[in-house]
Structure 1
């Protein structure tokens, strides 16, 4: 068997998330359909992550296996062959041979998400699908002060959405949570070993509400201590979130 590692980017606007769906509108469905046209075994993808409907990716990583006998092209042609069968809003950025034991999910050591905000009275039409338009002035230093307090090993129960079942373990470790400002464009960069359901959107929405003066920066600690979703702010809209990178330690990132 041959194992391949794919690094994948997509605009999530038209898709029901990464994961395969009965409707066929998961990004995974479209890439697997392309692979099935190239390889008789119709390989299935194992991914590093899932993204929700409307969320984008620039560096999602997945792997698949095929029998050696089915791979009848130069390795450098795989990326061209797959992309030729995909819609314009999905692209494989890299397609390389992986070690037999490589696992896109279990070998990942961390992930980076980025959340985009356009903070100006008029929305930038070029960013309307990848940034949340917040027209009111934001107190960016207050947002940065609050973001810094999220770094570390914490119970993030107050920032995750309820999936209908009791959440037994809500402890996660953030290694980075910072806000970059470039004119009216704000980018929230969040890195960690793992994330809860809609956790990044809960953090982004809460930080924006702190910037609007609806909460003081110091309230972020109280929100964490409450361990109750009702204690924190809103979920930011899905379209501003991008899965930016997946890290793999010594073996390199996605």
Structure 2
């Protein structure tokens, strides 16, 4: 199932004790609609305040158990979900399909604006100064390819490897006049995108050399990288699977 959400009111995607999560709300709505306990598995775990324009989740149920056709199912589910979580489409896949492990790439955006705007409080990060975009984009070339990105990972996370393959990393101006960082990779480490953005802004705002980014990557040391930027400017925008058509909604 394809979903999207504004993460402002949630402590991330994953169910947790004493905090409201997107997964919890989705599970509750599915339990009500299907009249049985349902556990969803997501393509990834977004942190507190992070948004998703596209996220895929999988859950197990029988076709007979759906009762409603797919469009009516989505309509009914949306009536049960909070206003800041939306379900877009239901997709039948093979029994062993896995939303997390089968994804071949994921894309994120980080949004930055430079003029105070009350409508962007929870959706973009306000910066006072405009960074040197061309310089940051030249530095982005060091991110491309398959490397150990442990320098951008949150400490004490349990992952089997810090190796990721980044296919795209660039800053672009939007038509509305705000700045967006685009990045695509086969996988991401926890807090990786926010740490990369913070490190690039060290180059774009603080006159550090382009080579600083390579030094940070080679160090494999989180303390060498820049600070993590605020969560509310980050969006998961696209997840790709070999067996799902990634159509525009």
Q: Same fold (TM over 0.5)?
A: yes
How far residue 97 of structure 1 moved from its aligned partner, in angstroms, is: 2.4
Could you say which residue in structure 2 is the equivalent of 1:225?
Answer: 218
Correspondence 1:146-225 to 2 at 5 A:
146-163=139-156, 169-182=161-174, 184-225=177-218
Per-residue deviation, 1:210: 1.3
Task: Compute the displacement of 1:164 (Å).
Answer: 6.0
Q: Which residue in the other structure is 1:56 paired with?
A: 51
CA distance in structure 1 between the partners assigned to 2:217 and 2:46 by the alignment: 24
Structure 2 residue corresponding to 1:248, chosen from 225, 236, 241: 241
1:133 paired to 2:134: no
Distance (whole Å) between structure 2 residues aligned to residue 20 and residue 60 of structure 1: 16
- Structure 1 unaligned regions, length at least 5: 1-5
1:159 offset after TM fit, Å?
A: 1.1
Offset, 1:169: 2.3
| Bigger strand share | 1
Contact 1:41 1:66 in 2 (8 A): no
- The answer on 1:43 being equivalent to 2:38 is yes
State the shift of 1:216 in Å: 1.6
Write the distance in 1 (CA, Å) between the matches of 2:142 and 2:16: 37
Q: How many residues align?
A: 246
Counterpart among 2, 10, 15 of residue 5 in structure 2:
10
Alignment of 1:20-99 (within 5 A): 20-23=15-18, 25-99=20-94
The answer as to whether partners of 1:24 and 1:30 remain within 8 angstroms in 2 is no
CA displacement at 1:168 relative to structure 2: 5.8
How many Å separate the matches in 1 of 2:79 and 2:5? 15
CA distance in 1, matches of 2:177, 2:156: 34
8 A Cα contact 2:12 2:46, kept in partner: yes
Does structure 1 residue 123 correspond to structure 2 residue 116?
yes
Change (3 A) 1:34 1:250: closer
Supply the distance in 1 between the matched residues of 2:161 and 2:93 (Cα, whole angstroms): 32
The CA deviation string for residues 232-251 of structure 1, in whole angstroms up to 9 with x for no partner, is 11101110111111011353
State how far apart, in whole Å, the 2-side matches of 1:239 and 1:38 are.
31
> 1 CA distance for matches of 2:19 and 2:28?
10
The two structures have a TM-score, normalised by structure 1, of 0.91
C-alpha distance in structure 2 between counterparts of 1:24 and 1:64, whole Å? 22
> Does structure 1 conserve the Cα–Cα contact (< 8 Å) formed by 2:103 and 2:241?
yes
Instruction: Let me know the Cα RMSD of the aligned residues.
Output: 1.7
| Residue aligned with 1:176, SS | strand
For structure 2, which runs of at least 5 residues remain unmatched after alignment?
Answer: none
